Chain A
């Protein structure tokens, strides 16, 4: 779990080293640890190998050790020991002192190799002198700077070969080595002693100082009176150094307690809170150095040495580097560009890294060359990646749909062509020679660009802004610009074309999942998430019939925002919390412990990057933990992020009861008994009200009240106030209670008590409705009944298999083979004109206790209750109830006969084939296409005109087609 929060890669312990200083060579292959008796050479490629040792005899500890930063002299390192500097050379696994520099009269406090001249070394001492040595002539220093006060730090400027800075108690002096007599500038930097001094890697005027007065200050020595910026800490700061990537700063605190975490990474753009804490060392970090990057590597590595006698190597991956870049001011732009793959951020940082480690040169091509030749003035330290346009082009990630970029590095230009819907955009981008060092490319639309000129202007402006913002920091801008262009076009097109013009908006999502994946993970919590709702972390759902399933955040998870502040609405809010913008932290009071979680940079696996959703809550959690169990390493504790899912039985809150569902009966033959038993059942579950209702139902269904079939004898009970009206009131009441169980049961019982005249197994018909059916019906006779009854439906025979009914025919024409639908009879029966019949019908309606007008609603009650019974697993009970529905739940679909055209064999509907436009079937007797009434054998599929068939089968029983089928027997009519 610890690995999740820190980016530590390698830990090697050197128990006996007792080293006081450490340095990493310019190739990144070795680190030297200087102990009193030995110097240990650690192979950084294989750090766990036993280190090589170089013995030394001295009673003094090594004060400072430093490798020569130039490749040509990469085997040389200097180590100060009291008043002397020993120059070691390390070749083929052996090291020895090849020369010593002696001149200081008191202990040497610091030394620094020149960034420009491989032979030059500066040393500072408490003897008040600063000596610049030419190692080719070791007898005496070439330059001696007299400072009057003893110096604690001395550093060469990284951009100007003549400048150097030294710290003297709380002051900083800037020296020009050509004018050794007096310092060029004095800066009264701190009130307490300065422990650390570091020049800005890219700016020759800017440096940072760290001091005993609990602060890091940033200075421009041209304005010595006022610092540029301050980083306030609550403990003395031992060292503060710029990172090789842009805008980063690493500090080491002087811890007040052991085990306190003191190694922090900051963004110089936002000094409110560190962006990362390197957690692992148990004691004071004595020295930290950046390991020069391997060619092609995206990661930087920080090598640290601590008093806990461990050497650790930390990976600082592009994600973490990016955190240093993130700028509150440029929120939108930045986020847009950050959404892209990590390669992008890397490429944009490469020029910086180049500059920071090795001295910069304006001409990039030149720098390229110097790398190979080595040994010349610049970039010897850097194993890194020279930044040329060519390289940007090769690294740029432009897997965007509908966009094509043709890059021409030789002519320093590229053509971006994009197709969106009906629009095309062709854009020529030209890169000036200085690009990307504060020189923006130009953008020009060329034909055949089809977008309106207003939009061109708009896009041009956006692109110019984007590129300027990037090059101002010497960063590449091609990819951000192209992405801007795309998003711009997309949004505009969407507005313009509306929802109909889908295809072009579907950019990435339709690409294969694998490709979309990295993008997704990286965009989490970013700008694009602004319209994605904030994830639910608690919820409740009614499930099944009587369960409530709910989950909540674990109790240990707390919101970092005060409870009065509402939960953010969108996912993008997470990124704000994540990057610390909204939770400014004060050092020591909070951050020491929260940082670990908070700075859990997305370093390790992809998995961690996406789990940010919970960061918002975890933060507080850790603090809570702290109060409870001080000092435990909760980095190792598995943190419970998922709460439990609780299933609760809430059926008692519902108006329906499973027990009742089981015990209720519906006995059509004895309604009285049904009611009484159901009343008892209701009483058993404590539903007194329902028990009373059943008592009422029992009374209402009493035989004495059963209506007379003669309409003239008496008013049916249903018309009595206690009849239908009472029932309706009851139904109303239970409707309000949503007691669908009682509703459905009542409806079923009363329906059973007075079955509709046309037998409830058939469809019930409302009189007003049935009147419209007869004409309607005759045009669409039902196939279903005939096919079901016939049973011989294996209609696979070759020619024509069908039962076709012709439009416009009356049902009288139904022939001996096909059976007319029962509907015919029913409607025939209902289509009466006898007034007595109508009266009887009316009486029928009146005598029913359930208002027939609401039949459909009653059916719905039954259907819904049936559904609930089904969920309870009471399938038979469900069938019991649905039996009383006037609409059977699933009308039987039966079998439908299809017609295959006898000419082209395609499936046809009706008499004409849709494919070949010919009549689909022929009469087996006259061989003429059949248009009118026809009949076919369901077994062999042969048939023809009804009249011909009837004639034929009057005399024969075999098929007229000669297939041998005994059609009359097969089709059992």
Chain B
């Protein structure tokens, strides 16, 4: 049953802005306004501080774990306009790379699917999105999409490598040539889809539905079905679920999940892509699940930082 398996007291000196576990769920990384990133070993309900990463000069907004096949790598982004990539070598965490190519706060970082190698997307308040690709030998290749979102980019999220449609007509015997795609949200109230073509990043789609800043976007993990799904949330309190059945990825339809009373800050998909966790300015976490008939219903409620996720009995119907 749903149960709290660990409660980690981070001892951060200021408010926490993100918390994320690694691929296996053995380690927890947190970041805070106190400018630090902390890593805890949370195996077996423990909470051992493994590392206290100091290097940012402003509040740290987000962290992201890379796939373990590249080693233990964590990226963090901060108000100080920097993106720092940390790596564990022989048990010690150290800076692997520091990217300072943004002119304003970097609000979001996201590692691409491992099939693409070590690639990181960073969205910044300067409106640009940077793509950092590890090319070996401590070298990072930087590609920058300037003015991706006017005013600022707030969130980035990669599409899973298994994008239906892209696999068709792959020459056999070769590594499938996946198209790199990601989604971003910004202060222009837009959700944008980006695609790499011939090594260049191009805007693929522009999704309009929100009436205020888009705060987060999440591309649902694929389980091999031909549908792509994206969740987006905004300052306007709305959460939209975007779906696309078209193999070419051109027609996206939006469905309103719910309209909240306060800003929605974050959306996160479960590994099977059928449950969405929504959190926002109301200090609550809600879980939403799509029923067999395609309706989204709230299945739980976490409130006030005290309770556990409890499945609520009367599944409240969403407004649709």
Question: Is B289 interfacial (CB 8 A cutoff)?
Answer: yes
Most chain-B Cβ atoms within 10 A of its Cβ — which of A557, A614, A738?
A738
Binds B, one of A230-238, A350-358, A438-446, A644-652: A644-652
* A residues near B284, Cβ cutoff 8 Å: 538, 552
Q: Do the beta carbons of A520 and B287 come within 8 Å of each other?
A: no
Question: Is B238 interfacial (CB 8 A cutoff)?
Answer: no
CB distance from B78 to the nearest CB of A (A): 9
Q: Do the beta carbons of B235 and A569 come within 8 Å of each other?
A: yes
Q: A743 CA to B281 CA in the complex, in Å?
A: 38
B 251-268 to A, binary, CB cutoff 8 A, 1 in contact else 0: 000000000011101101
Q: A413 CA to B81 CA in the complex, in Å?
A: 36
Question: Is B116 interfacial (CB 8 A cutoff)?
Answer: no
Question: Is A900 interfacial (CB 8 A cutoff)?
Answer: no
B 59-99 to A, binary, CB cutoff 8 A, 1 in contact else 0: 10100000000000000000111100000000000000000
Q: Do the beta carbons of A550 and B81 come within 8 Å of each other?
A: no
Q: Do the beta carbons of A533 and B17 come within 8 Å of each other?
A: no
Q: A517 CA to B81 CA in the complex, in Å?
A: 10
Q: A201 CA to B39 CA in the complex, in Å?
A: 55
Q: Do the beta carbons of B16 and A542 come within 8 Å of each other?
A: no
Question: Is B12 interfacial (CB 8 A cutoff)?
Answer: yes
Q: Do the beta carbons of B285 and A505 come within 8 Å of each other?
A: no
Q: A500 CA to B128 CA in the complex, in Å?
A: 12
CB distance from B235 to the nearest CB of A (A): 4
Contacts A542-B275, A614-B33; is A552 near B101 (CB within 8 Å)?
A: no
A 546-557 to B, binary, CB cutoff 8 A, 1 in contact else 0: 111111111101
Q: A735 CA to B227 CA in the complex, in Å?
A: 11
Interface of A is mostly: mixed
Nearest chain-A residue to B151 (Cβ)? A531
Out of A498, A539, A860, A863, name the residue touching B19 (CB < 8 Å).
A539
* B residues near A736, Cβ cutoff 8 Å: 292
Q: Do the beta carbons of A644 and B9 come within 8 Å of each other?
A: yes
Q: Do the beta carbons of B14 and A613 come within 8 Å of each other?
A: yes
Q: A770 CA to B173 CA in the complex, in Å?
A: 12
Contacts A539-B266, A769-B172, A857-B224; is A643 near B274 (CB within 8 Å)?
A: no
Question: Is B206 interfacial (CB 8 A cutoff)?
Answer: no
Q: A648 CA to B20 CA in the complex, in Å?
A: 12
* B residues near A607, Cβ cutoff 8 Å: 34-35
Binds A, one of B131-139, B192-200, B301-309, B312-320: B301-309
Question: Is B109 interfacial (CB 8 A cutoff)?
Answer: no
Question: Is A861 interfacial (CB 8 A cutoff)?
Answer: yes
Most chain-B Cβ atoms within 10 A of its Cβ — which of A539, A546, A649, A891?
A539
B 102-130 to A, binary, CB cutoff 8 A, 1 in contact else 0: 11110100000000000000000110100
Nearest chain-A residue to B55 (Cβ)? A513
* A residues near B105, Cβ cutoff 8 Å: 529, 532, 571
Question: Is A610 interfacial (CB 8 A cutoff)?
Answer: yes
Q: Do the beta carbons of A550 and B223 come within 8 Å of each other?
A: no
* B residues near A542, Cβ cutoff 8 Å: 268-271, 275, 277
Q: Do the beta carbons of A611 and B34 come within 8 Å of each other?
A: yes
Q: Do the beta carbons of B172 and A765 come within 8 Å of each other?
A: yes
Q: A638 CA to B104 CA in the complex, in Å?
A: 32
Contacts A613-B33, A644-B9, A823-B173; is A548 near B272 (CB within 8 Å)?
A: no
Q: Do the beta carbons of A647 and B271 come within 8 Å of each other?
A: no
Interface of B is mostly: loop
* A residues near B283, Cβ cutoff 8 Å: 537-538, 552-553
* A residues near B223, Cβ cutoff 8 Å: 735, 738, 740, 743, 860-861, 864-865
Question: Is A224 interfacial (CB 8 A cutoff)?
Answer: no
Question: Is B245 interfacial (CB 8 A cutoff)?
Answer: no
Contacts A642-B11, A740-B224; is A566 near B281 (CB within 8 Å)?
A: yes
Q: A610 CA to B283 CA in the complex, in Å?
A: 22
Question: Is A536 interfacial (CB 8 A cutoff)?
Answer: yes
Nearest chain-B residue to A651 (Cβ)? B2
Question: Is A509 interfacial (CB 8 A cutoff)?
Answer: yes
Binds B, one of A362-370, A380-388, A653-661: A653-661
Interface size class of A (residues with CB under 8 A): 35 or more
Most chain-A Cβ atoms within 10 A of its Cβ — which of B25, B162, B169?
B25
Contacts A566-B263, A648-B309, A652-B2; is A547 near B275 (CB within 8 Å)?
A: no
Most chain-B Cβ atoms within 10 A of its Cβ — which of A498, A553, A873?
A553
Nearest chain-A residue to B225 (Cβ)? A735
Q: A964 CA to B224 CA in the complex, in Å?
A: 56
Q: Do the beta carbons of B18 and A536 come within 8 Å of each other?
A: yes
B 149-189 to A, binary, CB cutoff 8 A, 1 in contact else 0: 00110100000001010011101111110000000000100
Out of B15, B266, B289, name the residue touching A541 (CB < 8 Å).
B266
Q: Do the beta carbons of B277 and A541 come within 8 Å of each other?
A: yes
Q: Do the beta carbons of B13 and A555 come within 8 Å of each other?
A: no
Q: Do the beta carbons of A509 and B81 come within 8 Å of each other?
A: yes
* A residues near B128, Cβ cutoff 8 Å: 499
Question: Is A688 interfacial (CB 8 A cutoff)?
Answer: no
Q: Do the beta carbons of B20 and A541 come within 8 Å of each other?
A: yes
Q: A858 CA to B162 CA in the complex, in Å?
A: 12
Question: Is A535 interfacial (CB 8 A cutoff)?
Answer: yes
Q: Do the beta carbons of B275 and A653 come within 8 Å of each other?
A: yes
Contacts A538-B279, A544-B23, A856-B167; is A611 near B14 (CB within 8 Å)?
A: yes
Question: Is A916 interfacial (CB 8 A cutoff)?
Answer: no
Most chain-B Cβ atoms within 10 A of its Cβ — which of A536, A557, A644?
A536
Nearest chain-B residue to A650 (Cβ)? B2
Contacts A551-B30, A642-B16; is A647 near B103 (CB within 8 Å)?
A: no
* A residues near B26, Cβ cutoff 8 Å: 544
Q: Do the beta carbons of B304 and A641 come within 8 Å of each other?
A: no
For the A-B complex with A646-B308, A654-B271, A740-B223 known, give 14 more contacts whose Cβ atoms are closer than 8 Å: A509-B100, A517-B80, A532-B152, A541-B18, A544-B24, A548-B277, A552-B284, A552-B302, A553-B283, A648-B4, A653-B270, A654-B275, A743-B224, A782-B173
- 3 pairs of A and B residues whose beta carbons are closest in the complex: A544-B25, A860-B224, A499-B146
- Supply 9 A–B pairs (Cβ within 8 Å), ascending by A: A533-B152, A543-B25, A549-B20, A551-B305, A646-B7, A649-B4, A653-B299, A871-B24, A871-B271
